[in-house]
Copies of this chain bind each other. A is one copy, B any other.
Amino acid sequence: MTAPYLTFLDAEGLAREGIPDGWSFGMADRVRFAELDALNHVNNAAYLSWFEALRVHYVSAYGLSDYRPEDPELVLRDVACRYHAPMFLNERYIVTARTARYRRTSFTMEYAVFAETLRATGSAVIVCLARDGSGRAPLADAVVGAFRARDGAVPET
């Protein structure tokens, strides 16, 4: 099939869409009916699912995990979301993700949702565990390198 489906955007593509500097991984999408709640706008939990949907692609694109048995187990430790303005049916939006800070075995991601204006921002702390149950697993150097080079991530002290 050749029709465009969900569209992933890199730094250049995001810039072309008018997204502010500082983001290099995003996805263009559209509000669906099932994401609205009884107040007729996008439900607060739906934003977390948008972050999650993008995160699944992000951890693959940055070499962290394809959810194969040999990949580290990624555990969501914390999430947060700030709602700047409501969103409505059929609105087209771009959701962005980046890693802002990293430690030896965990990292902090940031998210934003843009639809002309900024609608929501969020964050998540993700911990890497070894598959053998032996505890936390260190981030691979290549992954840290991607966090730094592509997202400008800095070590957390």
Contact = CB atoms under 8 A, between A and B. Distances in A.
Interface of A: 1-7, 9, 13, 16-18, 28-30, 32-34, 36-38, 40, 43-46, 48-49, 52-53, 56, 75-83, 89, 92, 94, 116
Contact of A3 (B7, B33, B45, B89): B7
Q: Tell me whether chain A's interface is mostly helix, strand or loop, or mixed.
A: mixed
A34 B49 contact: yes
Contact of A44 (B7, B37, B79): B79
A109 to B, nearest CB: 13
Contact of A80 (B34, B79, B89): B79
Contact of A34 (B3, B17, B53): B53
Given A34-B53, A37-B38, A52-B33, A1 B45 contact: no
